[in-house]
Amino acid sequence: MNLYSLLEKGFPKDKKSCAIETHDGLYYSWGDLERATNMMANLLKDLQLPIGSRIAVQVEKSPEALFLYLATLKAGFVYLPLNTAYQASEIEYFIENANPDVVVCSSKNFSWVSKIAFKANTSHVFTLDDNRKGTLLDRSVFFGDKFKAVPRDDDDLAAILYTSGTTGRSKGAMLTHRNLGSNALVLKKFWGWKKGDVLLHALPIFHVHGLFVAAHGALINGSKMIWLPRLDTAQLIQHMPQSTIMMGVPTFYVRLLADKRFTKEVCKNMRLFISGSAPLLTETFTQFKKLTGQVILERYGMSETIMLVSNPYKGDRVGGSVGVPLPGVKVRVVNENNKTCDINEIGDIQVKGPNIFKGYWQMPEKTAEEFTRDGWFKTGDVGRWGGVTNSGRVPKNYLCIVGRSKDLIISGGYNVYPKEIESFIDDMDGVDESAVIGIPHPDFGEAVMAVVVPKDGVKLDVQKMINTLKSQIANFKVPKQIEITLSLPRNAMGKVQKNVLRQQYVETNSSKA
- If the CB atoms of residues 34 and 370 are measured against ligand MCA, the closer one turns out to be 370
Stretch in the footprint of ligand MCA (CB under 6 A) among 218-226, 289-297, 364-372, 408-416: 408-416
What's the closest the beta carbon of residue 249 comes to ligand MCA, in angstroms?
Answer: 4
401 contact, one of ligand MCA, ligand AMP, none, CB 5-8 Å limit per kind: ligand AMP
In angstroms, the CA 268 to CA 149 distance is: 40
Q: Encode burial over 118-135: b for 16+ CB neighbours within 10 A, e otherwise.
A: eebebebbbbbbbeeebb
SS3 at position 27:
strand
- If the CB atoms of residues 447 and 460 are measured against ligand MCA, the closer one turns out to be 447
Residues 191-250 that bind ligand AMP (CB under 6 A): 208
The contact mask relative to ligand MCA for 206-235 (x = CB under 6 A, - = no) is -xxxx-------------------xx----
The dihedral built from the CA positions of residue 249, 69, 135 and 133, taken in this order, carries a sign that is negative
239 binds ligand MCA (CB under 6 A): no
What's the closest the beta carbon of residue 101 comes to ligand MCA, in angstroms?
Answer: 26
210 contact, one of ligand AMP, ligand MCA, none, CB 5-8 Å limit per kind: ligand MCA
Stretch in the footprint of ligand AMP (CB under 6 A) among 284-292, 299-307, 358-366, 391-399: 299-307
What's the closest the beta carbon of residue 279 comes to ligand AMP, in angstroms?
Answer: 4
Ranked by CB distance to ligand AMP, the top (closest) residue is 303
Question: Helices 250-257 and 282-292 sit at what angle, rounded to 10 degrees?
Answer: 50
Half-sphere exposure of 172 (CA within 13 A, CB side): 25
- Tell which one of 186, 187, 401, 501 touches ligand AMP (CB under 6 A): 401
Stretch in the footprint of ligand AMP (CB under 6 A) among 29-37, 271-279, 310-318, 429-437: 271-279
In angstroms, the CA 119 to CA 91 distance is: 12
Starting at the edge strand found earlier in the chain, the sheet holding 171-176 runs 124-127, 102-105, 54-58, 78-81, 157-163, 171-176, 359-360
The contact mask relative to ligand AMP for 102-141 (x = CB under 6 A, - = no) is ----------------------------------------
The contact mask relative to ligand MCA for 456-495 (x = CB under 6 A, - = no) is -------------------xx-------------------
- If the CB atoms of residues 42 and 176 are measured against ligand AMP, the closer one turns out to be 176
430 contact, one of ligand AMP, ligand MCA, none, CB 5-8 Å limit per kind: none
In angstroms, the CA 144 to CA 242 distance is: 34
231 contact, one of ligand MCA, ligand AMP, none, CB 5-8 Å limit per kind: ligand MCA
In angstroms, the CA 209 to CA 357 distance is: 16
> Contacts with ligand MCA: how many residues (CB under 6 A)?
22
- Tell which one of 277, 310, 355, 434 touches ligand MCA (CB under 6 A): 277
Stretch in the footprint of ligand AMP (CB under 6 A) among 148-156, 227-235, 298-306, 492-500: 298-306
| Residue 411 φ/ψ, nearest 5 degrees | -115, 115
What's the closest the beta carbon of residue 463 comes to ligand MCA, in angstroms?
Answer: 12
Beta bridge partners of 275: 248, 298
**CA 92 to chain centroid:** 20
Instruction: Find all residues with CB under 8 Å of 354, minimum gap 6, and list them.
Output: 178, 179, 182, 328
The contact mask relative to ligand AMP for 156-185 (x = CB under 6 A, - = no) is -------x----------------------
- If the CB atoms of residues 2 and 415 are measured against ligand AMP, the closer one turns out to be 415
CA-closest candidate to residue 42, choices 84, 76, 10, 82: 76
Size of the chain in residues: 513
**CA 103 to chain centroid:** 20
H or E segment and range at residue 382: strand 377-389
What's the closest the beta carbon of residue 471 comes to ligand MCA, in angstroms?
Answer: 12
444 binds ligand MCA (CB under 6 A): yes
Instruction: Find all residues with CB under 8 Å of 392, minimum gap 6, and list them.
Output: 318, 319
Cβ burial of 25 (10 Å; 0-12, 13-18, 19+) is: exposed
339 contact, one of ligand AMP, ligand MCA, none, CB 5-8 Å limit per kind: none
- Tell which one of 76, 81, 248, 276 touches ligand AMP (CB under 6 A): 276
209 DSSP 8-state letter: I
Stretch in the footprint of ligand AMP (CB under 6 A) among 121-129, 187-195, 272-280, 494-502: 272-280
In angstroms, the CA 207 to CA 214 distance is: 10
In angstroms, the CA 232 to CA 365 distance is: 42
In angstroms, the CA 165 to CA 479 distance is: 18
- If the CB atoms of residues 53 and 275 are measured against ligand MCA, the closer one turns out to be 275
Interface positions with ligand AMP (CB under 6 A): 163, 208, 276-279, 298, 300-303, 322, 379-381, 401, 404, 410, 415
